[in-house]
């Protein structure tokens, strides 16, 4: 969309004409990528990386204003008519012509993207988020520790550094189950050509090497003796991240930045802990009949109406958690949806945006 067209459509007058609908509601009818509010992107192509992973190359509309290598976006796709949003790191650098995200098949959304998404499909993305980025000025020595799909933000950083002709020393310590699972191997070899200081250390944990392939202080000592002099970047499965963080407490790196893909495992035993994220309050789910009561007992004052599930006044966003519908007794895992607090109780750990 041309600049003047965008500015016209985003003007006070056009918005007033569309009210209470938005300009986008009408633009949708013309061209699904046009928008004055949202970052929408077309899937330009899909490249299979491994048996379990694929990269989406995205052509965003003009509302995208660039990112920094290492940041992630929230991607929204429509599956069977229902929208789902998940975070994905960008594996492309800001210097690349298209955005790229690389996704490993796991649950509902990732499976859909890897198996069924098609070139030409429209997705919605958030502005870039996160502070998992290379510091300015660039450190002389870097250590990147990643596991599985955690390599994606590293790929973005490496591409960025290559474009900058970075001359420093980079150690990429990557963990994966086996070589076939490794995402972006050819790309890493390619990157090495432009990055004279890049060394790759790949550890395969399911190749019969037992625990020796896993992260440990001893392993790090052998593979990266000067780890303490390096600015470290960490992204991977919860177990790996935990081990590296613990190590950092005892023998600190020069600096440590982390990006967490998965929340620590949620409990499904009885009633769990409820975290009211915005207010920073934690309460035990067992101590009240509903999440609404629990919030009130914890000193919060969410809006409510009927308190019996009719009016939907008390709806709040659940980030993730196990909930029980007190009307039917049904227990389910909920993620990123609006939940009626008055008729749901915690059936495991719950994080609420409240």
> Which residues would be at the binding site for ligand FAD (CB under 6 A)?
72, 86-89, 101-104, 106-111, 149, 152, 259, 261, 333, 335
The nearest distance, CB 171 to other proteins, in angstroms, is 41
Q: Could you tell me the CA-to-CA distances from 111 to 54, 108, 116, 133 in Å, in that order?
A: 10, 5, 8, 28
Interface stretch with other proteins, choices 23-31, 63-71, 174-182, 187-195 (CB under 8 A): 23-31
Task: Show the site string, 43-82: x = touches other proteins by CB under 8 A, - = not.
Answer: -------------------------------------xxx
Task: Show the site string, 269-308: x = touches other proteins by CB under 8 A, - = not.
Answer: ------------------------------------xx-x
The nearest distance, CB 324 to ligand FAD, in angstroms, is 14
Which 8-state DSSP code applies to residue 138?
P
Buried b (16+ CB within 10 A) or exposed e, 103-127: bbbbeebbebbbeebeeebebbbee
**Does the footprint of other proteins cover residue 108 (CB under 8 A)?**
no
Q: How far apart are CA 115 and CA 48, in angstroms?
A: 10
**Does the footprint of other proteins cover residue 247 (CB under 8 A)?**
no
Query: Binding residue for other proteins (CB under 8 A) from 111, 315, 319, 334?
Result: 315
The number of residues that bind other proteins (CB under 8 A) is 30
The nearest distance, CB 172 to other proteins, in angstroms, is 37
Q: How far apart are CA 114 and CA 56, in angstroms?
A: 9
Interface stretch with other proteins, choices 25-33, 55-63, 217-225, 262-270 (CB under 8 A): 25-33
Name the pairing type of β-strands 99-104 and 169-176.
unpaired
Among other proteins, ligand FAD, none, the one that 93 touches (CB under a kind-dependent 5 to 8 A) is none
Q: Could you tell me the CA-to-CA distances from 317 to 15, 166, 342 in Å, in that order?
A: 28, 43, 13
**Does the footprint of other proteins cover residue 84 (CB under 8 A)?**
yes
222: left (phi over 0), alpha (psi -120 to 50) or beta: alpha
* Edge-first strand listing for the sheet containing 344-352: 281-284, 273-276, 344-352, 315-325, 331-340
Among ligand FAD, other proteins, none, the one that 186 touches (CB under a kind-dependent 5 to 8 A) is none
**Does the footprint of other proteins cover residue 267 (CB under 8 A)?**
no
DSSP H stretches of helix in 83-230: 108-115, 151-163, 185-194, 217-223
Q: Please compute Rg for the chain using Cα positions.
A: 23
Interface stretch with other proteins, choices 107-115, 254-262, 270-278, 335-343 (CB under 8 A): 335-343
**Does the footprint of other proteins cover residue 112 (CB under 8 A)?**
no
Residue 17 or 282: the one with the smaller Cβ distance to other proteins is 17
Among other proteins, ligand FAD, none, the one that 110 touches (CB under a kind-dependent 5 to 8 A) is ligand FAD
Among ligand FAD, other proteins, none, the one that 88 touches (CB under a kind-dependent 5 to 8 A) is ligand FAD
Query: Binding residue for other proteins (CB under 8 A) from 6, 26, 112, 204?
Result: 26
Among ligand FAD, other proteins, none, the one that 249 touches (CB under a kind-dependent 5 to 8 A) is none
Secondary structure of 188-226 in the HEC alphabet?
Answer: HHHHHHHCCCEEEEEEECCCCCHHHHCCCHHHHHHHCCC
The nearest distance, CB 310 to other proteins, in angstroms, is 5
Secondary structure of 210-273 in the HEC alphabet?
Answer: HHHHCCCHHHHHHHCCCHHHCEEEEEECHHHHHHHHHHHHHCCCCEEEEEECCCCCCCCCCCCE
């Amino acid at each position: 969309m041309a600049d003047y067209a965008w500015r016209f459509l985003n003007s006070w007058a056009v918005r007033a004409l569309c009210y209470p609908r938005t300009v986008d509601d009408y633009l949708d009818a013309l061209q699904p990528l046009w928008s004055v509010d949202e970052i929408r992107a077309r899937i330009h192509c899909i490249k299979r990386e491994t048996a379990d992973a694929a990269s989406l190359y995205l052509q965003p509309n003009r509302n995208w204003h660039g990112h920094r290598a290492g940041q992630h976006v929230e991607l929204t796709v429509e599956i069977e008519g229902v929208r789902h949003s998940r975070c994905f790191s960008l594996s492309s650098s800001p210097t690349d012509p298209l955005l790229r995200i690389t996704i490993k098949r796991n649950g509902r959304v990732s499976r859909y993207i890897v198996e069924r998404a098609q070139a030409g499909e429209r997705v919605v993305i958030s502005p870039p988020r996160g502070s998992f980025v290379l510091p300015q000025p660039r450190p002389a020595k870097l250590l990147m520790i990643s596991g599985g799909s955690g390599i994606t933000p590293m790929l973005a950083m490496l591409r960025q550094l290559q474009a900058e002709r970075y001359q420093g020393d980079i150690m990429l310590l990557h963990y994966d189950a086996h070589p076939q699972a490794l995402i972006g191997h050819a790309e890493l070899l390619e990157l090495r050509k432009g990055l004279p200081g890049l060394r790759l250390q790949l550890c395969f944990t399911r190749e019969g090497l037992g625990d020796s392939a896993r992260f440990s202080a001893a392993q790090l000592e052998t593979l990266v003796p000067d780890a303490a002099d390096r600015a470290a970047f960490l992204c991977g499965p919860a177990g790996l991240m935990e081990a590296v963080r613990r190590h950092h407490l005892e023998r600190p790196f020069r600096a440590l930045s982390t990006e967490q893909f998965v929340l620590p495992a949620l409990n499904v035993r009885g009633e769990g802990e409820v975290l009211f994220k915005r207010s920073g309050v934690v309460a035990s789910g067992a101590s009240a009949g509903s999440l609404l009561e629990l919030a009130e007992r914890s000193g919060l004052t969410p809006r409510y109406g009927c308190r019996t599930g009719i009016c939907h006044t008390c709806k709040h966003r659940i980030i993730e958690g196990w909930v029980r519908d007190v009307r039917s007794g049904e227990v389910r895992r909920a993620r990123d949806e609006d939940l009626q607090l008055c008729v749901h109780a915690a059936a495991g750990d719950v994080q609420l945006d409240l």
